[in-house]
Amino acid sequence: MARSARLPLVLLVAAALLALTGCGGGKHAEQCPTKGKQVTFPLLNPAKPHTVNVETNLGTFAIRLLVKSSPCTTSSFASLVRKHFFDGTRFHRIVPGFVIQGGDPTGTGTGGPGYTVVDEPSIYTAYIRGTVAMAKTAAAPPGTAGSQFFIVTGRMASLPSDYAVLGEISRGMDVVQRIGRLGNPVTEKPTRRVIVRRMTITP
């Protein structure tokens, strides 16, 4: 009698655990509202390291994704990488001693994936050399991220804490700095064509 009375409770607990397990392994973009077209993408596991390898015509560098601080931004970016969204794009803005910027499929500085997500950064966020953050328009809310990203090449970029942090350069900063010298400081346009041949993500 006591055993049969416990059975429904056991089943309920098991079902609850199963539901939690399902959420942990298959979270989707319902938890990352998008503005623009509606898309879904799996959220990255913050307990695991994730690295994006960027192969350019001037060399390769790697970005360590900061999943814990920017779960939606990093997961969206990873999804785009897996879809080969960035392959063939170029760095359309290069400001020597400041930043290099890419991720626009049109190469004009106005393109993107058709949607944005938001990971509002801490007010104490500092954009130091090697920081990779997401570019946005001045009108967009803090932390808005599409596909355009910038990498800080100067010691520290004097920017407000408005830009979602994607990650940091973990390898190949010399390649980033080489690219960073190929810009006109007045027009901010590249003096040489720098192409992203492909991006891959591990794991």
Report yes or no on 43 lying in a domain: no
pTM of the predicted model, to two decimals? 0.86
How confident is the model at residue 30, as a pLDDT? 54
Q: Are 145 and 170 in contact (CB under 8 A)?
A: no
Report yes or no on 70 lying in a domain: yes
Q: What is the pLDDT of residues 109-162, one digit of tens each?
A: 999 999 999 999 999 999 999 999 999 999 999 999 999 999 999 999 999 999
Structure tokens at 126: 């500092």
Report yes or no on 72 lying in a domain: yes
Q: For residues 164 and 120, give the distance between their C-alpha atoms in angstroms, rounded to a whole number.
A: 6
My answer on whether 57 and 101 are in the same domain is yes
My answer on whether 118 and 177 are in the same domain is yes
Q: What is the mean pLDDT of the chain?
A: 89
How confident is the model at residue 2, as a pLDDT? 43
CATH number of the domain to which 172 belongs:
2.40.100.10
Q: How many CB atoms lie within 10 A of CB 191?
A: 12
My answer on whether 16 and 73 are in the same domain is no
My answer on whether 19 and 91 are in the same domain is no
pLDDT band at 107 (very low <50, low <70, confident <90, very high): very high
My answer on whether 144 and 197 are in the same domain is yes
The torsion angles phi and psi of 154, rounded to 5 degrees, stand at -80, 175
How confident is the model at residue 23, as a pLDDT? 33
How many domains does the chain contain in total? 2
Q: Are 170 and 62 in contact (CB under 8 A)?
A: yes
- 11 or 47: which leads in pLDDT: 47
> Residue 20, SS3?
helix
107-134 as b/e: b if 16+ CB within 10 A: eeeebbbebbbbbebeeebebebbbbbb
> Residue 16, SS3?
helix
Q: How many CB atoms lie within 10 A of CB 158?
A: 8
Nearest-5° Cα angle at 83, 81 to 88: 70
Report yes or no on 193 lying in a domain: yes
Q: Residue with structure tokens 């910038």?
A: 150
My answer on whether 55 and 154 are in the same domain is yes
Report yes or no on 39 lying in a domain: no
Report yes or no on 162 lying in a domain: yes
| Integer angstrom CA distances of residue 11 from 3, 17, 22, 59 | 12, 10, 16, 56
Q: What is the pLDDT of residues 160-185, one digit of tens each?
A: 999 999 999 999 999 999 999 999 99
Report yes or no on 44 lying in a domain: no
How confident is the model at residue 31, as a pLDDT? 82
Q: What is the pLDDT of residues 12-23, one digit of tens each?
A: 333 333 333 333
Show the domain range for 82: 51-202
Q: What is the pLDDT of residues 51-89, one digit of tens each?
A: 999 999 999 999 999 999 999 999 999 999 999 999 999
Q: What are 52's strand-pairing partners?
A: 63, 201
My answer on whether 82 and 9 are in the same domain is no
